[in-house]
Amino acid sequence: MQAMRQLMTRLRLTVNEEKTRLCEVPQGYFNFLGYTFGRYYSVKTGKAYLGMRPSTPSIKRMVQAISLMTERRRTGGDAMELVSDLNSRLRGWANYFCLGPVSKSYRILDRHATSRLRRWLCMKHKAPSTARSCYHDVYLYKTLGLVRMRELTQSFPWAKP
């Protein structure tokens, strides 16, 4: 810790004492730049490895951003415009958080985006809450063009079809 403080002083940077801590890897986990670093286990082999995944606070911030974009008070806007904004936000998030096991995070965000968009469409068109089934996935993904984050992983150069 002392060596790190000396290095930061030479670089004329300050250490945030509230956030800075020693972490024993692989026993512990730590968050840095939106990722959680630590020991993970391969789904295929069950073997442990040191890696990273999107952190829980990062996922929560994105869920909150999607919720804000699809608030009731914003139903006066155009659906295609909203989907374009959502797609931009989702693609940007996916481009940054593309390392490590991202499938679970992408599923969470896909599910939240589709349910919020369905809810927004029902509010906009004054459809009863039981009519949420009238906006099926085909309509959201094919007609409106909502991006499906799970499909974005297929374009990763290291992903295997």
Give the model confidence (pLDDT) of 31-47 as tens digits. Answer: 999 999 999 998 889 99
Residue bearing the bigger pLDDT, 18 or 146: 146
Q: Beginning with the edge strand found earlier in the chain, give each strand of the sheet holding 35-41 in spatial order.
A: 30-32, 35-41, 48-54
pLDDT tens-digit map of 149-158: 988 776 666 5
Output the pTM of the full model.
0.84
Q: What is the mean pLDDT of residues 16-25?
A: 86
| 156 within 8 A of 99, measured Cβ to Cβ | no
Mean residue pLDDT of the chain comes to 90
pLDDT at position 129: 66
Count Cβ atoms below 10 Å from residue 73 Cβ, excluding itself.
6
Q: Quote the CA–CA distance of 158 and 125 in Å, as a whole number.
A: 42
Smallest Cα–Cα separation from 125: which of 112, 135, 115? 135
- The secondary structure of residue 139, as a DSSP letter, is I
pLDDT at 133: 72
Distances (CA, A) of 69 to 51, 64, 91, 101, 111: 32, 9, 15, 27, 15
